[in-house]
């Protein structure tokens, strides 16, 4: 049974309540001792609970995660994919010959085989891996099933022979065998299904872990993939396409593996029964059917790719509504959203309907050939030993009963053979669909590899285009005691030609030299923060910055994760990391007091209160103050605040700035608020046309005196109108006299 996390912070809060204190006074010493004992036990359980609530990184880099399963917490150790593995695979995924084709060219061809081989290296990394063992076991069961089918075919023949020859004893013996064979036969069938599901899950787990490691790493592939622009909706690829790919691969392994074994075994058996002519006919039939089906079948691969894309669009339209529900509700945008949802769904449905229509003719043709033409041919083959005994293979004697037995056995073998052949032919459609899913999964993997290796495609244009992704030449130095840009262009990145916002920007911020960046909307203020954070490339020049633990970026739109209230403050740390770093819940309460959010644990039910969407719970100002709480928690040497206090009232804003400076955090602020200038030493003013300048901001005292002077002048100016009126009145009075 999982242990509920004790809500100690809430408990402490309650204990401080005067009413609770008074109530405790009434309790007997024994009761208080029991209370203390309970608290102590809970306290001892804490490290275990922290560990269970967090994904702990072990010394060898593997992740330890506790997953709830059947009222228990199952421990799972995940080994990260090694960098050398990515490097070894890069060659496979950046191979031009297997590059993801345009939709129209997806099909069962050489490119598909190359792409599949590349993915196979992830699915079964070593011959000794677990998946090989499962595949082998599965193959054993497939062979066992074929053997059992053979036994059943013979038994069937014997039973019918005994029936026709009125051999009661033999008939009863046959029936007893029939039931006996049913036990291993049914077990084999169930195991085949079970192992097929196991293979699918095994492959999916391997692929998902690989993709996750490649997607979410310090190289920020998840962000860069959006800049790359070659692949949209990575979530659809990861959640749906990988699943479909794995399901199709494992079902194809069964649907092609079993009939292939069947064909070899049954063909041999039939060869003995119906002779060479029959065999030639059967094989001619196979090749003829395969050729015909390939000729008439539509491009299932292309259709599968298009369907997956449309499914992705429909899903995106829905997730947009979930993430922006409040904004849409304020605008009354339900009609507009309904329109776009309807449109996305109709596009998908039209496509799926189109596939169904194509399938009518295809299925009819397939059934005609496989069910009827093949059966007719089967009967002809069965008749060969009867009508042409010289070509009819091994005869079991000319007695009528034996002929019946041979016919029944042959017919059953032929039925199994035609069933096996039919299943292989039917699998062609699945194989073509697999080509589609393979193309999607390959596109995801090759984009991730390309972004991970910064191996962007060179420009298609002959002329060298400045600021293409292949043109990143700047230097980034980490571990610097400050932030320094030397002749760094600020460019909106794009795969082929980025747009320049500033041709060359240079400044240096040393500890204590707070800087504010201001300028009109869309000029490129956040862009500078993106370059410093490493989200956008440094195309030229030098960027020096503190090491990653010493700088924090507070973005314009506050981000709140799924999890406890505590996790919002300590993000991206885990509870376990917080405890091991020596921080306590009391420290968090102190931070909440600084940002004026001390009421939240009481309101939400303690620091352990969980929410899936904190964004919908907090107000705009609360979200921003929570982001600042993170800064006070991590206590970095430098902080980049991008409009981080725009929704916070100015009095609290001032206190937060003063507090941050007091803690020795050097600030780089991006803001429109003139009121914030006074907390900084330098002002980086951005103007249109890529012009910028740095101004020294006066000391706070100087700024205050200037502000007072301005206020004084404004007061005097406000009185001018009154004085002018009085002046006119006095002049009029004098004239009248
Ligand atoms: N991913 C992107 N693709 C294309 N253009 C972009 C991208 N990101 C930003 N831009 C453009 O770059 C310019 C600078 O954007 P930035 O976010 O830096 O503006 P800003 O000065 O911070 O504006 P604001 O004060 O409104 O926040 C804008 O014109 C914006 O449209």
613-670 per-position pLDDT tens digit: 898 889 989 999 999 999 999 999 999 999 999 889 888 899 999 999 999 999 999 9
211 and 344 in a single domain? The answer is: yes
Label each residue of 65-82 as H, E or C. Answer: EEEEECCEEEEEEECCCC
The residue from 34, 57, 78 where one domain ends is 78
Predicted confidence (pLDDT) at residue 397 exceeds the cutoff of 60: no
Interface predicted TM-score of the whole assembly (ipTM), two decimals: 0.94
Within a domain: residue 43? yes
Predicted confidence (pLDDT) at residue 63 exceeds the cutoff of 90: no
**Region of poorest pLDDT, from 50-59, 213-222, 298-307:** 50-59
Among 224, 492, 690, residue to substitute to test ligand 1 (most atoms within 8 Å of Cβ) = 492
- Greater model confidence, 546 or 470: 546
240 and 307 in a single domain? The answer is: yes
346 and 385 in a single domain? The answer is: yes
Among 228, 497, 527, residue to substitute to test ligand 1 (most atoms within 8 Å of Cβ) = 527
pLDDT for the residue numbered 462: 47
103 and 175 in a single domain? The answer is: yes
Strand partners, 73: 68
Residue 333 has what DSSP assignment?
T
pLDDT digits (tens, 9 = 90+) for 408-426: 777 777 777 777 777 777 7
Predicted confidence (pLDDT) at residue 601 exceeds the cutoff of 90: yes
Q: How confident is the model at residue 529 (pLDDT cuts 50, 70, 90)?
A: very high
Report how far ligand 1's centroid is from the alpha carbon of 327 (Å): 21
Q: How many domains does the chain have?
A: 4
Within a domain: residue 457? no
Task: Calculate mean pLDDT across residues 220-233.
Answer: 83
- Greater model confidence, 189 or 287: 189
Report how far ligand 1's centroid is from the alpha carbon of 662 (Å): 32
pLDDT for the residue numbered 330: 82
Report how far ligand 1's centroid is from the alpha carbon of 531 (Å): 12
CA of 529, closest atom in ligand 1: 18
687 and 710 in a single domain? The answer is: no
pLDDT for the residue numbered 331: 84
Instruction: Tell me if 83 sits within 8 A of 606, measured CB to CB.
Output: no
300 and 422 in a single domain? The answer is: yes
Report how far ligand 1's centroid is from the alpha carbon of 526 (Å): 7
Q: How confident is the model at residue 562 (pLDDT cuts 50, 70, 90)?
A: confident
| Residue ID of nearest Cα to ligand 1 atom 17 | 526
| Residue ID of nearest Cα to ligand 1 atom 8 | 492
Residues lining ligand 1, judged by CB closer than 6 Å?
Answer: 492, 501, 521-527
Instruction: Tell me if 105 sits within 8 A of 299, measured CB to CB.
Output: no
548 and 645 in a single domain? The answer is: yes
The residue from 398, 420, 452 where one domain ends is 452
Report how far ligand 1's centroid is from the alpha carbon of 505 (Å): 17
Within a domain: residue 27? yes
- Greater model confidence, 2 or 248: 248
CA of 226, closest atom in ligand 1: 1
Using a cut of 0.90, tell me whether the model's pTM lies above it.
no
Position of tokens 């869309």?
A: 522
| Residue ID of nearest Cα to ligand 1 atom 6 | 492
Within a domain: residue 462? no
C-alpha 362/C-alpha 602 separation (Å) is 65
CA of 227, closest atom in ligand 1: 1
Within a domain: residue 128? yes
Within a domain: residue 132? yes
| Residue ID of nearest Cα to ligand 1 atom 10 | 492
Residue 370 has what DSSP assignment?
I
36 and 94 in a single domain? The answer is: no
679 and 712 in a single domain? The answer is: no
pLDDT digits (tens, 9 = 90+) for 468-522: 777 788 899 999 999 999 999 999 987 777 888 998 999 999 999 999 999 888 8
CB under 8 Å to 709, separation ≥6 — which residues?
Answer: none
Report how far ligand 1's centroid is from the alpha carbon of 523 (Å): 7
Report how far ligand 1's centroid is from the alpha carbon of 515 (Å): 20
| Residue ID of nearest Cα to ligand 1 atom 29 | 522
Instruction: Output the domain CATH number for residue 641.
Output: 3.40.50.300
Instruction: Output the domain CATH number for residue 223.
Output: 1.20.1560.10
Q: Average pLDDT over the chain, rounded to whole?
A: 83
Strand partners, 693: 685
Within a domain: residue 597? no
- Greater model confidence, 407 or 227: 227
The residue from 452, 486, 512 where one domain ends is 452
pLDDT for the residue numbered 6: 45
Report how far ligand 1's centroid is from the alpha carbon of 660 (Å): 27
Strand partners, 554: 641
- What residue numbers bound the domain in which 262 lies? 88-452
378 and 512 in a single domain? The answer is: no
| Residue ID of nearest Cα to ligand 1 atom 4 | 492
43 and 163 in a single domain? The answer is: no
Within a domain: residue 2? no
283 and 186 in a single domain? The answer is: yes
C-alpha 341/C-alpha 96 separation (Å) is 37
| Residue ID of nearest Cα to ligand 1 atom 23 | 522
Report how far ligand 1's centroid is from the alpha carbon of 336 (Å): 26
| Residue ID of nearest Cα to ligand 1 atom 3 | 492
């Amino acid at each position: 049974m999982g242990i509920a996390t004790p809500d100690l912070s809430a408990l402490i809060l309650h204990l401080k309540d005067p009413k609770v204190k008074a109530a405790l006074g009434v309790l007997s010493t024994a009761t208080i001792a029991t209370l203390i004992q309970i608290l102590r036990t809970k306290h001892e359980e804490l490290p275990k609970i922290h560990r269970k609530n967090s994904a702990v990184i072990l010394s060898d880099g593997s992740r330890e995660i506790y997953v709830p399963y059947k009222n228990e917490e199952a421990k799972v150790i995940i080994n990260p994919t090694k960098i050398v593995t990515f490097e070894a695979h890069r060659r496979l995924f950046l191979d031009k010959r297997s590059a993801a084709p345009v939709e129209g060219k997806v099909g069962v061809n050489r490119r598909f085989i190359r792409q599949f081989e590349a993915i196979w290296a992830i699915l079964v990394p070593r011959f000794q891996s677990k998946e090989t063992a499962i595949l082998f076991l599965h193959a054993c069961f497939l062979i066992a099933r074929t053997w059992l089918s053979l036994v059943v075919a013979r038994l069937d023949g014997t039973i019918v022979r005994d029936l026709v020859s009125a051999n009661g004893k033999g008939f009863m013996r046959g029936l007893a065998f029939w039931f006996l064979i049913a036990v291993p036969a049914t077990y084999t069938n169930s195991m085949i299904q079970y192992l097929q599901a196991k293979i699918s899950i095994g492959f999916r787990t391997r692929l998902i872990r690989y993709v996750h490691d490649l997607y979410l790493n310090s190289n920020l592939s998840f962000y860069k993939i959006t800049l790359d622009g070659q692949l949209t909706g990575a979530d659809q690829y990861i959640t749906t396409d990988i699943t479909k790919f794995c399901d199709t691969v494992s079902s194809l392994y069964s649907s092609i593996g079993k009939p292939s074994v069947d064909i070899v075994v049954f063909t041999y058996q039939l060869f003995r029964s119906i002779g060479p002519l029959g065999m030639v006919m059967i094989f001619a039939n196979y090749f003829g059917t395969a050729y015909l089906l390939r000729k008439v079948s539509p491009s299932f691969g292309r259709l599968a790719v298009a369907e997956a894309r449309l499914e992705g669009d429909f899903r995106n339209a829905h997730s947009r509504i979930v993430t922006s529900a409040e904004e849409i509700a304020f605008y009354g945008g339900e009609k507009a959203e309904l329109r776009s949802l309807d449109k996305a769904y109709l596009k998908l449905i039209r496509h799926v309907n189109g596939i169904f229509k194509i399938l009518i003719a295809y299925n009819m043709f397939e059934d005609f050939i496989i069910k009827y033409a093949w059966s007719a041919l089967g009967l002809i083959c069965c008749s060969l030993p009867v009508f042409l005994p010289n070509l009819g293979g091994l005869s079991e004697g000319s007695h009528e009963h034996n002929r019946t037995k041979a016919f029944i056995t042959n017919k059953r073998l032929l039925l199994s053979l035609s069933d096996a052949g039919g299943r292989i032919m039917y699998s062609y459609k699945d194989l073509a669909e697999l080509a589609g899913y393979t193309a999607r999964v390959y596109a995801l993997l090759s984009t991730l590899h390309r972004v991970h290796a910064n191996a962007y495609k060179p420009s298609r244009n002959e002329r060298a285009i400045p600021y293409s992704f292949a043109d990143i030449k700047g230097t980034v130095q980490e571990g610097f005691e400050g932030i320094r840009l030397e002749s760094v262009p600020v460019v909106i990145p794009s795969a082929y030609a980025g747009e320049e916002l500033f041709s060359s920007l240079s400044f240096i911020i040393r500890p204590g030299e707070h800087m504010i960046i201001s300028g009109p909307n869309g000029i490129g203020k956040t862009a500078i923060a993106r370059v410093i954070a490493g989200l956008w490339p440094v195309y030229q020049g030098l960027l020096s910055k503190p090491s990653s633990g010493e700088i924090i970026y507070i973005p314009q739109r506050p981000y709140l994760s799924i999890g406890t209230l505590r996790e919002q403050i300590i993000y991206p740390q885990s509870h376990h990391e917080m405890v091991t770093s020596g921080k306590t819940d009391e420290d968090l309460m102190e931070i909440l007091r600084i940002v004026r959010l001390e009421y939240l644990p009481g309101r939400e039910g303690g620091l352990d209160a969980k929410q899936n969407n904190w964004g919908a719970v907090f107000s705009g100002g609360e979200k921003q103050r929570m982001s600042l709480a993170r800064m006070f928690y991590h206590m970095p040497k430098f902080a980049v605040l991008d409009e981080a206090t725009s929704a916070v009232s100015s009095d609290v804003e001032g206190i937060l700035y003063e507090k941050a400076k007091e803690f020795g955090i050097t600030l780089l602020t991006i803001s429109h608020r003139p009121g914030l200038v006074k907390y900084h030493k330098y002002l980086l003013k951005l103007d249109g046309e890529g012009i910028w300048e740095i101004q020294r901001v006066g000391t706070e005292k100087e700024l205050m005196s200037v502000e007072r002077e301005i206020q004084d002048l404004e007061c005097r100016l406000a009185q001018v109108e009154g004085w002018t009126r009085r002046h006119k009145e006095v002049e009029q009075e004098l004239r009248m006299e």
